[in-house]
Structure 1
Amino acid sequence: MQAPKDLYNLKELQTLETVEASKGLAEQLKKLMQLRSVCIDNISSTDCASIFAALSNMPLLSSLLLSAKDENEPLCFEALKPMSTELHKLIIRGQWAKGTLDYPIFRSHSKYLKYLALSWCHLGEDPLGMLASHLSNLTYLKLNNMHSSKTLVLDAEAFPHLKTLVLSHMPDVNQINILDGALPCIEGLYIVSLPNLNKVPQGIESLSSLKKLWLTNLHKDLKIQWNGNGMRQKMLHVAEVRI
């Protein structure tokens, strides 16, 4: 939806549901200092600097969804430097420009981020390992529709506060290793539509706080291994298991 031309007059507006990025949107956003929740789609790489700078100056911003115009459009987050320490929820749909994890949103602001959902961000390596070193305070993480290395590793200190982890539509992944000590607070683990994941995630039985486990739409060999290794008996502490 295109933003109305008089959007800037709504100075008490707190929630801006999905509007399309446009040439004049940044100027309108500068007048909306009461916004808490913002969703912007159809963002092109040329929009990033002006729109993200305007968002950065919102003192009450707590939730932000940013969606590129398509899955191949690179978004540069260099200008996203939130002044609001309330910004804890970030949803990004789009390619990342190189060096994104070195920008302020994932450096100086990373301690405030609790909820992160990423789609189309082809980080090229092990995204879990890359994100774990920057975002230790996350309680929710979703990775969707992205390419990665074949093996994902959650090391012993990965995501100490994470309660929910969702991995979906990651076609390159064929192995997940969970080292002892990783995800000490995890309650929900949802691994869905990873067609080449043919082994039960190594170390999954060590997740003692786990309450929900979904292993669905995966390689058929995973279920064979699950049954052959008696995994259900090893996961009796998990209230809900779907496989």
Structure 2
Amino acid sequence: MYRSLAAFGGVPTPKGIWHLKDIQTLQFFEANTKMVQKVGALINLRTFGITKVQMCHCTDLCRAIANMNHLVLLQIVAKDEQEILHLGALRLPRSLRKVMLLGQLDKKYSLPQCSMSFGSLTNLTAFHLRWSRLVEDPLPYIQALPRLLVLQIWEAYDGIKLCFKTASFQTLKELEIVDAPQLNQIEIEKEAMPSLQTLSLSGCPELKVLPQGIEYLTSLQVLHFGEPAEEPAAGLRGGGEGGDR
């Protein structure tokens, strides 16, 4: 796994590429002012990955993505871990199957406003949040995705609790939570994530007990704890909290 945004390089956008109206893949190209203003003309894109995105690019970038009605994969990568992306105006095309948002999101607007279009994304099956540094539980917004299969929350949450509400994430099969330094409680309500098969938790040093309600995950096949694994794993082996329910 990439441990830093610096690992996501890119190349300068070729001059005049916006004239290639039938191009379907544009990936790992660095953002610049002209690029984000012009890329919306490429309405036949199916794969779009852009790196080195800065706050000043966000308005034009959101407007461009709204025109990409055939888009299947979207990857937005911030310039670095300190750059704050304002993506509240992002309206995701219904054709999308996978979205990767890599970088710090502004804490007030980006996810709440962007999520207003989530209910219509019936093709979207994979959603990755990385380095977002959110302090508000993002799950109430993400659960609006009706057919999500894979959810990654990686160094994206700085809060202390995550709650999977009753009847949420009905189709989710894989959940990965990585590097949540303050997270000390995960609550799973009854009938949440009934299809979950793989649960992976790592880099959560304050998480001293197994997720409350883990017994409701009756489809679970793989339960993985990375470092530090000792305390939760010991609880599982020894019938600790949640282990004998």
Distance 1:130 1:100 in 2: 11
* CA distance 1:170–1:230, shift in 2 (3 Å): closer
Report deviation, 1:90. 1.1
* CA distance 1:173–1:102, shift in 2 (3 Å): closer
Distance 2:157 2:173 in 1: 24
Q: Provide the secondary structure at the position in 1 that maps to 2:117.
A: coil
The question of whether the paired residues in 2 share the 8 Å contact of 1:136 and 1:158 is answered with no
**TM-score if structure 2 supplies the norm length?**
0.85
Aligned to 2:132: 121
Aligned to 2:32: 22
* CA distance 1:36–1:100, shift in 2 (3 Å): same
Pair 1:94 & 2:95 matched: no
Q: Provide the secondary structure at the position in 2 that maps to 1:107.
A: helix
Aligned to 1:85: 94
Report deviation, 1:215. 1.6
Aligned to 2:23: 13
Distance 2:112 2:227 in 1: 34
* Percent identity of paired positions between Structure 1 and Structure 2: 31
Cα distance per residue 1:68-107 (max 9 Å; x no partner): 111222211233224x32023211012222222342x411
- 2:120 aligned partner, one-letter code: K
Report deviation, 1:108. 2.6
Aligned-residue Cα RMSD (Å) equals 2.3
Determine which of 37, 44, 50 is the counterpart of 2:47.
37
- 2:129 aligned partner, one-letter code: L
- 2:160 aligned partner, one-letter code: K
Report deviation, 1:183. 0.4
The question of whether the paired residues in 1 share the 8 Å contact of 2:153 and 2:176 is answered with yes
Greater mean alpha carbon deviation, residues 111-120 or residues 165-174: 111-120
The question of whether the paired residues in 1 share the 8 Å contact of 2:183 and 2:204 is answered with yes
- 1:85 aligned partner, one-letter code: R
Report deviation, 1:136. 4.2
